């Protein structure tokens, strides 16, 4: 997604889960991964 120079945002399903502008830093892997829902197996 286009942004301002130096902007780094992470969105999951259209929801902002991390913003470098707000936090003042890049995210750690774990804090981004924890915001991604685990897929549920398809029901038959």
Bridge partner list, 15: 12
pLDDT tens digits for 1-38?
666 678 899 999 899 999 999 999 999 999 999 988 88
- The per-residue pLDDT for 7 is 87
pLDDT of residue 39: 78
40 pLDDT band (50/70/90 cuts)?
low
| Stated pTM of the model | 0.68
Q: Are 31 and 18 in contact (CB under 8 A)?
A: yes
Q: In the block, which residue shows the tokens 């999951």? A: 12
Q: How many CA atoms lie within 13 A of 7 on its CB side?
A: 9
């Amino acid at each position: 997604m286009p942004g301002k120079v130096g902007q780094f945002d992470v969105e999951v399903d259209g929801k902002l889960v991390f913003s470098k502008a707000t936090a003042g830093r890049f995210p750690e892997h774990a804090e981004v991964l924890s915001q991604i829902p685990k897929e549920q197996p398809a029901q038959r």
